[in-house]
């Protein structure tokens, strides 16, 4: 049998243990209550992220639309802040896609990646030959992370052996001028020809023809689009930088071109 003193001592120890257990449970319960706001906060962050993902997916991805959407959101919520210029930066790939869409809206053409071109395809691919000969191909090349080139075939801009712009090319160059005026890209306009020698009253050589064509494009951007002169440059290379082998008509057609190289200032 357990004596009265031992029983009382054991009873006190049991009561003490029960009290400590209750205190620990209360402590954890209070901690859980204090941390519950984190669950609501994380849900809010997830909903905001989902909102912006949907916004991006449904947007036309041009700077004016982004600016209007974020300004409206800012006015109603007071959460977002913008710089004084109120510009939203787009990724280079998005910039290129928007420019391509703008060009296609004023001229029916097939936009292709210049990396697709090989001498073998030029010699054997009938679809490529037809596309090039039609004069409705615009070639695009990503040169660097923030630089790209637009390659216009001769027929899209000029008559054969001429440096006078076709009126049908004005809307294309106007869109490029708008792009340059709305971004900080620099444009380098380069003229190129095929290897067949030219010699007439206007152009003693292919080099003069390539320079004259580049100057015609540059002049349109300066005079009609009001692109600042400091952001434009030009060059004429004659037949020294071919894209394809000059031994075939398609190759020569591709080599008669004007390239507009877009680069961000350093």
Note the helical H segments in 158-263.
170-182, 206-223, 249-255
Tell me the HSE value of 135 on the side-chain side, using a 13 A CA sphere: 11
Of 244, 238, 249, 254, the closest CA to residue 153 belongs to 254
Tokens of 107: 């001229």
How many angstroms separate the CA atoms of 146 and 11, rounded?
Answer: 79
Question: 64, exposed or middle or buried, with CB in 10 Å at 0-12, 13-18, 19+?
Answer: exposed
pLDDT tens readout for residues 150-173: 999 999 999 888 899 999 999 999
pLDDT category of residue 83 using cuts at 50, 70 and 90 = very low
pLDDT one-digit tens code per residue, 27-76:
555 555 566 777 788 888 888 888 888 777 665 555 555 555 555 544 54
Q: Output DSSP code: residue 158.
A: B
Phi, psi of 222 (to 5 degrees): -75, -50
What's the pLDDT at 82? 42
Is-above-0.85 flag for pTM?
A: no
The whole-chain average pLDDT of the chain stands at 81
CATH architecture of 92-263: 2-Layer Sandwich (3.30)
The contacts of residue 184 (CB under 8 Å, 6+ apart) are 264, 265
**Integer Cα distance of 190 and 170 in angstroms:** 18
Least confident of 43-52, 79-88, 142-151: 79-88
* Assigned token pair, 83: 């710089």
Does the pLDDT at position 92 exceed 90? Answer: no
């Amino acid at each position: 049998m357990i004596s009265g003193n031992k029983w009382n001592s054991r009873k006190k120890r049991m009561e003490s243990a029960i009290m400590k257990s209750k205190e620990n449970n209360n402590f954890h319960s209070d901690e859980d209550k204090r941390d519950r706001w984190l669950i609501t906060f994380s849900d809010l962050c997830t909903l905001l992220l989902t909102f912006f993902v949907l916004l991006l997916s449904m947007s036309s991805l041009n700077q004016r639309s982004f600016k209007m959407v974020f300004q409206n959101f800012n006015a109603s919520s007071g959460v977002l802040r913008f710089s004084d210029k109120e510009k939203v930066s787009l990724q280079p790939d998005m910039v290129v896609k928007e420019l391509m869409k703008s060009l296609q809206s004023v001229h029916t053409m097939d936009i292709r990646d210049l990396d697709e071109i090989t001498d073998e395809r030029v010699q054997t691919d009938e679809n490529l030959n037809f596309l090039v000969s039609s004069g409705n191909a615009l070639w695009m090349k990503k040169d660097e992370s923030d630089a790209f080139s637009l390659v216009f075939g001769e027929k899209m801009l000029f008559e054969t052996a001429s440096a006078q712009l076709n009126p049908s090319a004005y809307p294309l160059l106007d869109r490029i001028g708008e792009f340059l005026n709305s971004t900080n890209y620099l444009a380098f306009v380069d003229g190129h020809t095929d290897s067949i020698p030219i010699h007439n009253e206007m152009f003693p050589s292919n080099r003069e023809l390539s320079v004259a064509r580049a100057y015609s494009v540059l002049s349109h951007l300066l005079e009609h689009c009001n692109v600042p002169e400091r952001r434009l440059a030009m060059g004429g290379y004659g037949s020294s930088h071919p894209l394809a082998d000059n031994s075939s008509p398609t190759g020569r057609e591709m080599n008669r071109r004007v390239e507009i190289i877009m680069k961000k200032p350093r």
